[in-house]
Amino acid sequence: MNRLEGKTALITGAASGIGRAQALLFAREGAAVVAADLNGDGAEQVVSEIEAAGGIGLAVKMDVSDNESVRAAVETAVSRFGRIDILSNTAGAFDQYRQTLDTPRELWDKLIAVNLTSLYLVTNAALPHDHRVANFHSTEVPLDIRPQHSDTDLMRV
Ligand SMILES: NC(=O)c1ccc[n+]([C@@H]2O[C@H](COP(=O)([O-])OP(=O)(O)OC[C@H]3O[C@@H](n4cnc5c(N)ncnc54)[C@H](O)[C@@H]3O)[C@@H](O)[C@H]2O)c1
């Protein structure tokens, strides 16, 4: 239906699962999709599918827990499309349910960085490129991350 015609959507975790499904759907709706993932080959594969269906896509390798990686990927996206209208913070990593005593501190820190701090890093990098970013993230993260200067829409999915 082309409800996203003219929009640019940056989707993290786009190589698989929920992010991949979003990437394909948003592209079908007319958005230019930036498929961002630590799995760069997987992101490329999704963009190939988007392009084969006549859509517009760009694959970027991004580690959502690493600020430099996030900033570089956002710059690549903005230099190609000029703006970001939709941000989907979908990348996530989950190991397995463990007892606290079986959870090494390194694993705890990694899970917090990938699943929580990433929202802060990616949103902060993307917002300056447009002040009307629609931000999707899991309700598992009980944070309202709207910056005060922005009229950003926050949608919980
Ligand atoms: N599938 C569900 O039912 C469900 C339900 C609630 C919440 N979630 C959460 O939603 C998120 C996505 O779920 P999914 O089922 O699509 O998972 P998935 O494992 O299929 O996809 C996650 C994607 O994130 C990418 N990723 C992992 N670490 C990354 C990093 N550091 N930087 C960039 N990309 C990285 C992976 O490469 C992968 O492509 C996860 O955080 C998950 O916990 C999933």
In the chain the first and final C-alpha atoms are separated, in Å, by 21
Class level of CATH domain 8-156:
alpha beta
| Pocket perturbation via mutation, ligand 1, pick of 11, 18, 65, 136 by most ligand atoms within 8 A of CB | 18
Select the highest-mean-pLDDT range: 25-39, 84-98, 121-135, 140-154.
25-39
Confidence (pLDDT) at 133:
66
**pLDDT higher than threshold 50 for residue 107:** yes
**pLDDT higher than threshold 60 for residue 15:** yes
**pLDDT higher than threshold 60 for residue 122:** yes
**49 neighbors 72 (Cβ within 8 angstroms):** no
For the chain, domain boundaries: 8-156
Q: For residue 56, what are the β-bridge partners?
A: 32
User: For ligand 1, is residue 115 a contact (CB within 6 Å)?
Assistant: yes
Closest ligand 1 atom, CA of 43? 39
Q: Is the pTM here over 0.85, yes or no?
A: yes
* Ligand 1 centre distance from Cα of residue 69 (Å): 18
Residue nearest to atom 9 of ligand 1 (CA): 92
